[in-house]
Structure 1
Amino acid sequence: MANIKEVAARAGVSTTTVSHVINETRFVAEETRERVFAAMRDLNYAPSLVARSLKVKETHSIGMLVTTSSNPFFAEVVRGVERYCFEQGYNLMLGNTEGEAQTALSYLKMMLRKRVDGLLIMCSEGQQEVFNQLDWLGTLPVVVMDWGLDSDRVDLIADNSHLGGYLATRHLIDLGHREIGCIMGPEGRAPSTQRLAGFRQAMAEAALPVRPEWLQGGEFDCASGFAAMTRLLAMPTRPSALFIFNDMMAMGAISAAHQAGLRVPEDISLIGYDNVELAQYLSPPLTTINQPKEALGRLAVTRLLARIHGEQIANRLITQEPDLVIRQSCRRY
């Protein structure tokens, strides 16, 4: 394999000049740069990323902590992150925490040892121990995605879940539904709290009562959606429509309704949240609130790279606005 001395000799320059071209640490005339790049191509020379990182204090790698990439929502965000990292010449080091704080901390320590240039975090509030360690990171840029960590140390990209909850409920009301319930996410989690607030606002504006027994808790997974729907169907009276706080729980709810002999939307209308790719292939296709997941990933990387490159950005909060995707799981009442 060729080395930097052979590249310098072929290009007719010093090894110092080759180093400056590779690391972009000093101005080099365009003609000289082209000779160096041509020599690198001719000799099939690939500069060592490790050696380069020691000189310019960058590894061209980004760490990402995510609750779990098996959930379609997280998987689609990660896909957006991976694509844009690749386009920008960065490696992505991914750690699936599975909701475990100690796992998250272990990944965080490993990423710091690997000297990542920046960190993306997409974990639940239940992993607060991770964020108690942010002082470790010094000046390392951090972008948090999809939940409301209140810190001036990080950039935050958040979904406007209050608006999303309002849009979902307003759609059901506009279809003529008056008896509306919810399958919610974990109590105390920011997305759950905000989506419920949006639901309550829409119901209050329409002067409709909110029945506490029709507000069933879930865990943002299929199993809890199935269980919550089973509880609702066992009640003496049930709502004509449900706002379900994510598409995974909506999938479980549709299965429970089917097993109970009910048809969606003929017997009960359902609207989800997230617009994961699978939602359009359910039977019936799921009406849902869209979060632009690949765009979220791209936006997070763009902001992180801006911080890595030292750009001065005053606003640390970016809010993404959701929108309604109408399919076939809701009917006019």
Structure 2
Amino acid sequence: MTESTASVPGRAKPVTLATVARHAQVHVSTASRALSDDPAGISTETVRRVRELAAMLGYHRNLGAAGLRTGTSRLIGVLVPRLTDLALASIYESIDAAAESAGYSTVVANTYDDPGHRRARLDAMLSRRMDGVIIGDSHIGDAAGYELQSRGVPYVLVMRRLEGHLSVSTDDELGGRLAAEHLLNLGHKRVGVIAGDLLASTGRERSQGFRRAFEAAGFPVGDQYVVSTGFGTAAGRVAGAQLLELREPPTAIFAVDDLTAIGAMGSIRAAGKRLREDVALIGYNDLLLAANLPVPLTSIRSDLSAMGRLSVEALLQSIGGKPTVSTLLPPVLVPRATTVAD
């Protein structure tokens, strides 16, 4: 435990750990452990007394200096494509809350799904001695995980998956299958897929599950009906327009995330078509706004809050040297007005 530079009103000297220990009538090492995140071997009453006195005297732990002494920074780095993505913002909010509860702080950086940006952001994080890193922008071919392994830095992938790497995500192939089964039950046979980025597991596995279900039902989705323009509203609008310009346009579209689906809504309206009656539409993640659109969006629910929390738990287990396994959360179909009548 390191000394604080805070001062008690009316005192010329700063409040140190020794000051707290003297008032609590305990040894300095006991006071240090009582104020730590894991006060093992000290009675509850002693911990309570030391912490109350520390607060009353105005003593604050210097976490940066403590990290130098203990070899930990109590910092977790988080890499995301962009926090303007509501799904990733929701996950990060959960990550930050779970980290704070465990006595850690988070440092988040946008990578824009760009390898160069990711490289620079990761280097900056590692220079600050992160205890671990949560990666939310992994792609096929990424080397970030392997580099962290080589440096001995614990990490976990969140939302996206890569074979051989610890991850917390939704069973996206199953989610794609749920979307397909819903449309098949409604009688749709000619459908389109807005696949996002097929190098990301979210785009690849959701699209794959959807297409496999239609193929098994005897209505394979041709490659011309699968458009990969990236994630987000602008990408969704472009992809939706491409699908609706086909000689035989689809009667239903599955977009692999809600924001992309919202972009597709714009292209459906621009083509003079009606949602559900002319073109059914399904998104993914079930963001809060999906249920509050002028025409509520059918979506595959992914528990973003649990994803963030569990990624922190998995990372902390890894930091502690405990065995960890990847987690797949179950997706849930939430039907709304873009596919079924109210």
Q: TM-score, normalised by structure 2?
A: 0.88
**Cα distance in 2 for residues equivalent to 1:331 and 1:11:** 67
Tell whether 2:283 aligns with 1:292. no
Tell whether 2:66 aligns with 1:52. yes
**Cα distance in 1 for residues equivalent to 2:293 and 2:78:** 30
**RMSD across aligned positions (CA):** 2.1
Corresponding position of 1:216: 227
Q: 1:52 to 1:261 in 2, by over 3 A?
A: same
Corresponding position of 2:18: 5
Corresponding position of 1:66: 80
1:65 partner SS: strand
Q: 1:189 to 1:43 in 2, by over 3 A?
A: closer
Tell whether 2:90 aligns with 1:76. yes
Which residues of structure 2 form unaligned runs of 5+? 1-6, 8-14
Farther off after superposition, 66-75 or 119-128: 119-128
1:95 partner SS: strand
Q: 1:56 to 1:213 in 2, by over 3 A?
A: same
1:133 partner SS: helix
Tell whether 2:233 aligns with 1:204. no
Q: 1:31 to 1:137 in 2, by over 3 A?
A: same
Corresponding position of 1:307: 318
Equivalent of 1:147, from 157, 160, 179?
160
**Cα distance in 1 for residues equivalent to 2:47 and 2:244:** 71
Corresponding position of 1:189: 200
Paired letter, 2:317: A
Paired letter, 2:50: V
Paired letter, 1:321: P
Runs of 4+ in 1 over 4 A off after TM superposition: none
Equivalent of 1:156, from 154, 158, 167?
167
8 A contact 2:145–2:155 mirrored in 1 = no
Paired letter, 2:30: T
Paired letter, 1:13: V
Q: CA deviation at 1:97?
A: 1.0
**Cα distance in 1 for residues equivalent to 2:271 and 2:258:** 20
2:142 partner SS: helix
Q: CA deviation at 1:69?
A: 1.0
**Cα distance in 2 for residues equivalent to 1:130 and 1:321:** 27
8 A contact 2:179–2:254 mirrored in 1 = yes
Paired letter, 1:325: V
8 A contact 2:39–2:47 mirrored in 1 = no
Farther off after superposition, 198-207 or 173-182: 198-207
**Cα distance in 1 for residues equivalent to 2:271 and 2:290:** 21
Give runs of aligned pairs for residues 1-333 of structure 1, distance below 5 A: 1=7, 2-23=15-36, 24=38, 27-125=41-139, 128-138=142-152, 140-151=153-164, 154-313=165-324, 316-331=325-340
8 A contact 2:244–2:250 mirrored in 1 = no
1:125 partner SS: coil
TM-superposition CA deviations, 1:91-118 (whole Å, max 9, x none): 1111111122232222222222222222
**Cα distance in 2 for residues equivalent to 1:147 and 1:41:** 42
TM-superposition CA deviations, 1:45-96 (whole Å, max 9, x none): 1111123223333322211111111111111111111122222222111111
Paired letter, 2:163: D
**Cα distance in 2 for residues equivalent to 1:322 and 1:26:** 40
1:196 partner SS: helix
**Cα distance in 2 for residues equivalent to 1:215 and 1:196:** 8
**Cα distance in 1 for residues equivalent to 2:196 and 2:282:** 14
8 A contact 1:99–1:126 mirrored in 2 = no
Q: TM-score, normalised by structure 1?
A: 0.90
Q: CA deviation at 1:122?
A: 0.8
**Cα distance in 2 for residues equivalent to 1:141 and 1:70:** 26
Equivalent residues, number? 327
1:150 partner SS: coil
TM-superposition CA deviations, 1:255-287 (whole Å, max 9, x none): 111122211012111111121222122231100
Paired letter, 1:10: H
